[in-house]
Amino acid sequence: MAFEPQVVTSAGTAGTLAPAQNRVLRNTYLLLAISLVPTIFGAWLGVQLNFSFMAGSPFIGFMLFLAIAFGFFYAIEKTKNSAWGVAILLGFTFFMGLMLSRLIARTLGISNGGSLIALAFGGTAGIFFVMASLASTIKRDLSNMGKFLMVGVLLLIIAAVANIFLQIPALYLTIVVLAIGIFSALLLYDINRIITGGETNYVTATLNIYLDIYNIFANLLSLLGITSSD
């Protein structure tokens, strides 16, 4: 028997996911799976080329990364209702793969680096499964979470920028742990928005969920690297 996500209708009773919402969710998951291909290729290419924005000046590199990322966000938002939106989104995921390559290369330099990457991938997949299951069965709209989670993301960015100069290991560890928690909650929030009809465009939905998963994986891999015996 096919699994049918349950949501609460306006009358307060549980019902199956509406066809339009089911279509957005299905297309989002499909595009999300496709987006992993350019991400993996970008990460592989970045490792081969020893790519890094941060080598010269971490602060300037971080600001340049944010400028390019927000440029992609703007372009995706403007083209989200056309095929160009999908193409630009895939270009963005390739770029994010490049940005991930430095962390991948550093992890591969550890004796058990390959195992750590596999463990981070498995952990991220597990978090996704749990949050997707919760979003499908939860009995209320979680839209009120959005503003608090975005404040959390903003504080994380500020703390990350500050630690470029402060270089405090304890602060870095705190940022990593909090990022895993915040982006896991954002993953629940973003999937719930699709299911409850708050997000109706699958390109935008894919971008949001991709960023959640990317940040969970990157910070989980960082945490595993920090706690590695090496």
Domain assignment of residue 31, given as a range: 6-227
Q: Residue 1 falls within a domain, yes or no?
A: no
Give the pair of three-digit tokens for residue 126.
């597990």
Q: Residue 158 falls within a domain, yes or no?
A: yes
Nearest one of 85, 95, 98, 103 to 31, comparing CA atoms: 85
Mean pLDDT of the chain: 89
- 130-157: string of b/e by CB count within 10 Å (b at 16+)? ebbeebbebeeebeeeeeebeebeeebe
Q: Residue 208 falls within a domain, yes or no?
A: yes
In this structure, which amino acid lies at residue 185? Answer: A
The pLDDT tens digits of the residues spanning 22-37 come to 999 999 999 999 999 9
What CA–CA distance (Å, rounded) separates 92 from 143? Answer: 26
Q: Residue 78 falls within a domain, yes or no?
A: yes
Report pLDDT for 174.
95
Total count of domains within the chain: 1
pTM above 0.85, yes or no: yes
**Residue 3 — very low, low, confident or very high, per pLDDT cuts 50/70/90?**
very low
Asked if 25 and 195 count as a contact pair (C-beta separation under 8 A), the reply is yes
**Residue 16 — very low, low, confident or very high, per pLDDT cuts 50/70/90?**
low
- 43-55: string of b/e by CB count within 10 Å (b at 16+)? beebbeeebebee
Q: Residue 26 falls within a domain, yes or no?
A: yes
Which DSSP helix (H) or strand (E) runs through 15? Answer: strand 14-16
Nearest one of 163, 161, 155, 162 to 179, comparing CA atoms: 155
CB atoms within 10 A of CB 199: 20
- pLDDT at residue 15 is higher than 70: no
Report pLDDT for 137.
87
Nearest one of 169, 183, 167 to 219, comparing CA atoms: 183
The pLDDT tens digits of the residues spanning 183-197 come to 999 999 999 999 988
Burial of 203 (0-12, 13-18, 19+ CB in 10 A): buried
CB within 8 Å of 212: residues ≥ 6 apart: 183, 184, 186, 187, 190
